[in-house]
Amino acid sequence: MPDSPPALGHPDLSIVLPVHNERDNLAPLAAELHAAVGDRPVEFIAVDDGSTDGSGEELRRLAAADPRWRVLRTARRRGQSAALAAGWTVARAPTIVTLDADGQNDPVDIPRLLAALEEDQGLGAVVGVRLGRRDSRWKRLQGVVANRARDAITGHRVTDTGCGLKVIRRDRLLRLPRFDGMHRFLPTLLVRDGARVRELPVTHRARRYGRTKYGMWNRAWRGLRDALGVRWLIRRRLPADWEEVT
């Protein structure tokens, strides 16, 4: 962490971190985020989603040392979708970066995804595709099965729905329907709303500390249920095919 962090000012970028029991991963990740954004006007919005391991205290320590950090806290655990939505709702910047707080997403990739979004004003989002995944073979298999099942049900192919690293225009996010599990379908929901989404390869790393919060069976059941709901939304989308004639 820099000795004299940049003043907050008015950010042009909001980085949203959903946090659940990631205390030991937070300080190393914060240092990497600071290095990745440099002097760019940015705010870091960490949403403490019912942590019980001291993550909240660690986040408040980061905020006390650097005014760019903002900390939200839920009364009890609400899940990753609720944490992300809370973060981008209070965000002050027009561009949102999301990434997981476990350190498996490498902040060094953020500038490249941002550049792709800024170079093409017609894009609504740039989303990461994890290369060389540093997960167990079993977990990688879960991801492949889940991705293909969602694609088949929704009719929209997304290479890696589980990658947390995304850069999205905030006005696009605010238009999306909100429901538990929506974070797994953000590219599909954005396309449903008329946005163009680009995929780019990103680094994936092994966890430093802690363990994953999700297993095969809760992924499978929730993913199937949510995919059916997203298909319902897609089929009932109202087309914006009107124009003013007088």
pLDDT for 25-69, tens place per residue? 999 999 999 999 999 999 999 999 999 999 999 999 999 999 999
Are the CB atoms for 174 and 156 separated by under 8 Å?
no
pLDDT number for residue 124: 97
Q: Is the pLDDT reported for residue 160 higher than 90?
A: no
Helix, strand or coil for residue 13?
strand
Q: Which of 48, 53, 128 is nearest to 80 (CA)?
A: 48
Q: Which residue has the tokens 């680094």?
A: 203
Q: Among 2-6, 79-83, 111-115, 130-134, which stretch is predicted with the lowest mean pLDDT?
A: 2-6
Q: Is residue 224 part of a domain?
A: no
DSSP symbol at 204: B
What pLDDT shows up at residue 235?
76
- Domain-embedded: residue 150: no
Q: How many whole angstroms separate alpha carbon 88 and alpha carbon 162?
A: 19
For residue 213, is it within any domain? no
Look at residues 80, 229, 234 and name the one whose alpha carbon lies nearest to residue 166: 80
83 domain-assigned = yes
* pLDDT at residue 142 in the model: 59
Phi-psi map region of 181: left, alpha, beta (phi>0 left; psi -120 to 50 alpha): left
pLDDT at position 102 is: 94
Whole-number Å distance between alpha carbons of 48 and 86 = 10
Question: What is the pTM for the complete model shown?
Answer: 0.83
User: Please, are residues 47 and 17 in contact by the beta-carbon 8 Å criterion?
Assistant: yes
Q: In the predicted model, is pLDDT for residue 129 greater than 90? A: yes
Res. 119: pLDDT tops 70: yes
In a domain, 56, yes or no: yes
Query: Could you tell me the CATH number of the domain that includes residue 189?
Result: 3.90.550.10
For the residues 95-108, what does the mean pLDDT come to?
Answer: 96
Q: Give a yes or no: residue 171 inside a domain.
A: yes
> Residue 144: its pLDDT value, please?
62
For the cut 80, the answer to whether the pLDDT of residue 125 exceeds it is yes
With respect to residue 227, please indicate whether it lies within any of the assigned structural domains: no
Minimal CA–CA distance to 50: which of 18, 27, 24, 25?
18
123 strand-pairing partners:
196
Residue 233 lies in a domain: no
Mean per-residue pLDDT for 87-95?
97
What pLDDT, on a 0 to 100 scale, did the predictor assign at position 228?
A: 76
Where does the pLDDT of residue 151 fall: very low under 50, low under 70, confident under 90, or very high at 90 and above? low
Task: Give residue-wise pLDDT tens across range 184-207.
Answer: 899 999 998 889 999 999 999 988
Domain that holds residue 123: 13-133+160-205
Query: Total domain count for the chain?
Result: 1
Q: Which position has the higher pLDDT, 8 or 24?
A: 24
